[in-house]
Structure 1
């Protein structure tokens, strides 16, 4: 390509021009950017590095702020990187950091560029290359550039050495064998007198120790020295994070560090350092009572602070303390309860989590009562946080905290009536689950379900539809516990059920079918007859009289007219008296069912249509038998009566089999039939189906646009028409419903006109949940949170069915990253001295003796390490303290052999390096070396002394 002309260079649009042009574009910004991208694509191909670097800079801006792809400029960025000018290198490194990743094709071409800049005498070029390497390093780059990183770890320029220490994290992550090269020099930087170096190296070890703290126990003396000597709060915070992870692994170390940490808690005025000290004590030093009492005092200071951030941190620390020291929470219970009304949502959630930590079998009812009161006067989001917390806590361990399941069933009903409740799915699952697991709670569940079903105002709340679905299922499945099954049928088939989704309305119809079958069978069994020989054996209570038979005949034939029943002929609730299974009540029950389901025989939803036709078909079958029998009454009356009873008994038996909980892994234990091949996906579905179009999610219902276009009728119009047809029936039934169930309706204002629509849902504030006074709640909470004995007169806990293979979802444990394991093994090998440090001839300074600058501190540091070792060995026994002097002498006697062994290992390492032809040798475990390196006793390495 020809060189760039002078005009191209002079009139090239700079980044400043691009930004100004973007800001002036009130409209048409995409078009402006598209034009700019065309210019960049043309300019970046120029042979002039100035033009190319400017184009690359503009492209980096558009990629960062407008997310334009710049992968096409990978090779051009390398060309700019080869420029000797620092300004061009800076632009290139920035672009490479944005667009290069592990799969970039030209990534291997940058290795020599990075190696050249890492060994440059210009510290700014070294800094740029280190910054880029920390973002794009992969396995190959980390392996090839480890020698250069090792050299920079001892650079005399503080800025360069600090960045090299930070890059080590990325290099260790990608190439764990780099630990055998760089780790010793990394540890040597812990002795640096420069605060920037110490801050950087402590930050690196804090990140490394968070992945596998046990591997870094041998470095405890160095961390302890920094903890005692440092005056930099940032460094102290990082060291405290390290000791919070190391202290639980070594009790002797915890005994050593607890006093310095307590001193910092007493003296410091920095809130950040104080909180880190508190968190270290409550997480790793909770066995020391004096330290815990001091930490709780400081936590209370956080809780009383006006700053919401500090208050949140105090609640978070108190949550950690609550696991082992409940007394700390009881001392601050007033603050915790008041925090539930805080304006900060994070504080409210944290205080709620803390309250749930204190729940037990003895106080779960009282605490739930307090929390529901807060839910009533809270915003919708926090209200659902409270409801969700109660549900998850009470259902934990298969309802292990619940003793009184009748109370819990009532609690679920109260939650359903809270105005902001949006936990319908969770409440639905638990209503069904406890019904399947606990037999004794089924009567109460049916009572709770009846209260929910009979209130028509709840049908208008879409968040309660799932709960109403569970209430309908429970009422139908356990109808034998109902006090008035006729009332259940009326509630399940009331006009406002048209507001329910089709799937839930189908459950309503199916439950009404179950209740209808139960009522018919109960009526048959209650009518005794002397002619029991002609009836089925399973009707053990005798045979029914002809009352039902004659009533059905009257229903079928009428007065010589059609069998259709008009709304005015029979009052839907005229004879539905409680527990009155007379022939009049059965006839009215059949009329109510047929009246409610007949319009649904033309429904456009297949689930509603199928279930409605099933019920209507069942009624028609009985009527047909009765009608045929009436025509030939003198011949086959008795046989038809038996046939009707058999039909009712058969249908009831179909519903009477008890259901139980099913394990989530039950399907996996079902053996596959021979010859059945299951594939992981439906990749062959297109080949099998051919040209057949795949159905849409709503295709199984006729409620689709294509259907409307086919028949030329809008389904919404059909629904409106169907609703108008039912409106007259709804109006006539509404007055009777108000009269019979007036307690569920709110009194309407006199100024408002009386409407035929139903009133809004009942306000649960009128229920006796708890007082709204916060002070009363705190007094009540004092009694609730205080542990007390279980009363001896309480009824025993009912049996809860549990599955043999567990009731929780299987927990998939994430396999540890093999890179993390390799990194930990390499660190242990270096610290425990079980492997020689492998390197090349260019890395011979690994075994160099300490510089003259550090020789003056060598004796002082060695004394510090020996003193800490003696204190770690001293576990509190008097015999250990008496033998301290002998232990010290023994340490001195073995010092020379240790140095001799260290020199032998260095010699072996040099010989190994001469034999190896590879840049970095792989670590191989010796045959006589124990395989479990983590189980070895943590020993302070020689190069730390």
Structure 2
């Protein structure tokens, strides 16, 4: 290689342009393999200046490949480019325009703009076409050139050569993406071309252009829509059909009242699903996604088509179909759609190891549905797709505050299944936990079921710690712990719940601080409900000042749990996380006092009945049982009028404000000097 490079260097120094040009051609070939040839920039410029077209073409090719935007050699190319643009040979002009389009810089654009604008009136059509296209690159580097060239561009829309018109439309389309308002004066000319052109490529570009211009000029809709509708009904070209449909739906032409038009679009889009080309299915689903925003009922009628796409081999098509489901789901279809998606997650190829909670949940789902999809079983689902499936299920169920959910016990079981099937997808765990907590707070009747589900999740998290896939993620367990704490009176076995949480937090290698903080707030609530198990007992005591008698077994349980909680809290009382440390110290003091009172109350035992201390029966439940936590609307606070004498702008302590204002702050001191 080095030998060849040395040969090329020697040939580049030759005075014979034939030898020099061949050396430059060799270097251009090597440059395509990644070898630098910037050192030969001056030799490239010499070949570009050759009077022979074959050599000039080699020079421009090498310049396009090797010249960089910051190359010093570009300063020497300006005069050469001007000379070639004014050449009598259309070949020299053409190759110069190609070079400008690829190496143009702000400085070159400013120097060559006028010369290039003159070229769009050249006698040769291919020169005019290339000049129009190259002008776009000049506009990007020197925007002021657009103001000068705009009238000439408008004239080129009426050029006798169709390739020049097509190039002009392309440039206008790109300019419209940046600022559509600049291109609105060209609308009449563009519309005339659209209604008379028989070139499919031209039609597609014009439709794309109108899709950009229509939002900026709403008056285009009544003029364009009849032509687009006729085109949609009559064309057999799939590319034109899609662009016409996309123009209607993406430019705001499809109003919510245009049911007939929406049905026409969907009817024509059905043709895409009958084709073998996967790309056509994909773009049709993209169009469905835009139509569903204004006409969900029209897309809902195509539910079977969407379901067929959910079983497609192409996961891009599956994801597009998934995105449609939240928009078309109804109360009647929710159960079937969720079941289908759960079956995809539960297919054998996607299950975790045998014996895990996730595998058991998958088996239960598969047994509950006799129509197993063999294709889904054969294709393992990527994690990203499984995540999309889970989010889609949650989106469908939570739409408009669960308007489609009629059975919240069923939804709770769905969340439990998702928790087991998403153990290796931590991004979904937080949302599943949020949903479980949300329905627990909002729907009173579902609380026994959701509390039981939360307890199940905590048990699974501890028993399946050997497998990441099989255990719920800790961000989900945070919500489960909060639920059993806030609604502990629904728990069937509160001592076991307390011990399960303690075991789980101890077993974590690096316990999450937020999880610990939640657990430290929840377990005292569970304990309070265990030692004083019903609100009625507490209310009776408050009213009649009567003690509730404990059995010997109940006393032992209360004392044992207090001791276990004290041991657990002592572990975290020195935590580096301030919230964990604060809560652990507070409740540690409380439970130490509780344990002392329990020891003293053992002296009151009569006939295996123990009189519990006031602290436990009266004070402890009052910390948690006075009020029930209910869901609040975001606008609830605004409905409460503030008192007329409340002034939020008045200082709380006027004297302190006065003192602070009278302090003279020395802002110039940096604190490093010594007192004098």
Give your verdict on TM over 0.5: yes
Q: Which residue of 1 aligns with 2:326?
A: 356
Structure 1 vs Structure 2 CA RMSD:
5.2
Q: Deviations over 1:131-189 (max 9, x none)?
A: 33323433332222111111111112222211111112222233232223211221211
Residues paired across the two proteins, number: 588
Aligned to 2:110: 143
1:589 to 561, 584, 596: 561
Report the CA distance shift for 1:229/1:108 in structure 2 as closer, same or farther (over 3 A).
same
Q: Which residue is equivalent to 2:391?
A: 388
Which residue number corresponds to residue 451 of structure 2? 446
Contact 1:493 1:512 in 2 (8 A): no
Distance 1:40 1:436 in 2: 80
Between stretches 325-334 and 358-367, larger displacement belongs to 358-367
Change (3 A) 1:469 1:132: farther
Q: 2:152 aligns with which of 162, 185, 205?
A: 185
1:462 paired residue number = 468
Name the SS of the counterpart of 2:160 in structure 1: coil
Q: Cα gap change, 1:588/1:151 in structure 2, threshold over 3 Å: closer, same or farther? A: same
Cross-structure match for 2:254:
286
* Distance (Å, rounded) in 1 between the aligned partners of 2:264 and 2:630: 58
The match for 2:592 among 606, 618, 621 is 621
* Matching of residues 517-536 of structure 1 within 5 Å: 518-520=526-528, 523=531
Separation of aligned partners in 1, 2:439 and 2:92: 71
Cα deviation, residue 498, structure 1? 6.4
Aligned to 2:352: none
Mapped pair 1:430 → 2:434? yes
Matches within 5 A, 1:104-183: 104=71, 107-183=74-150
Instruction: Show structure 2 runs of 5+ residues with no match.
Output: 348-375, 605-611, 636-656, 661-671
Structure 1 residues 161 and 348: alpha-carbon distance in aligned structure 2, compared to 1, 3 A threshold? same
Q: 1:277 aligns with which of 235, 240, 244?
A: 244
Matches within 5 A, 1:676-825: none
Q: CA deviation at 1:304?
A: 1.9
| SS of residue matched to 1:493 | helix
Q: Report the CA distance shift for 1:472/1:523 in structure 2 as closer, same or farther (over 3 A).
A: closer
Note if contact 2:44-2:63 (Cα within 8 Å) is conserved in structure 1.
Answer: yes
Query: Secondary structure at the residue paired with 2:421?
Result: coil
Q: How does 1:816-895 map to 2 (within 5 A)?
A: none
Is 1:303–1:314's contact at 8 Å kept on the other side of the alignment?
yes
Q: Is the 8 A contact 2:563 2:595 kept in 1?
A: no
User: What is the TM-score normalised by the length of structure 2?
Assistant: 0.69
User: What is the CA deviation profile of residues 520-576 of structure 1, one whole-angstrom value per residue up to 9, with x for unaligned ones?
Assistant: 57526979999x9xxxxx98886878979xx8xxxxxxxxxxxxxxxxxxxxxxx7x
Contact 2:457 2:480 in 1 (8 A): yes
Distance 1:93 1:150 in 2: 21
Matched residue, 1:299? 269
How many Å separate the matches in 1 of 2:9 and 2:506?
Answer: 65
**Greater relative CO, 1 or 2 (CA 8 Å, sep 6+):** 1
Shift of 1:343: 1.4
Q: In structure 2, do the counterparts of structure 1 residues 412 and 605 end up closer, same or farther at CA, with 3 Å as the change threshold?
A: farther
Q: CA deviation at 1:124?
A: 3.6
Shift of 1:656: 11
Residue 583 of structure 1, CA deviation? 0.9
Mapped contact 2:532–2:621 kept (Cα < 8 A): no
Q: Which residue of 1 aligns with 2:290?
A: 320
Looking at structure 1, the residues matched to 602 and 409 of structure 2 have their Cα atoms a distance apart, in angstroms, of 52
CA contact (8 A) 1:428 1:469 kept: no
TM-score, normalization by structure 1: 0.52
Does the CA-based 8 Å contact 2:116-2:131 persist in structure 1? yes
Deviation at 1:341, TM superposition (A): 0.9
1:323–1:604 CA distance, 2 compared to 1 (3 A): closer
Q: Which aligned pairs between 1:119-268 and structure 2 lie closer than 5 A? A: 119-247=86-214, 253-268=220-235
Identify the residue that residue 372 of structure 2 maps to in structure 1. Answer: none
- The verdict on how the C-alpha distance between 1:486 and 1:122 changes in structure 2, with shifts beyond 3 A counting, is farther
Out of 166-175 and 622-631, give the one that drifted further: 622-631
Larger Rg: 1
**Cα 1:627/1:396, change in 2 over 3 Å:** closer
Aligned position for 1:797? none
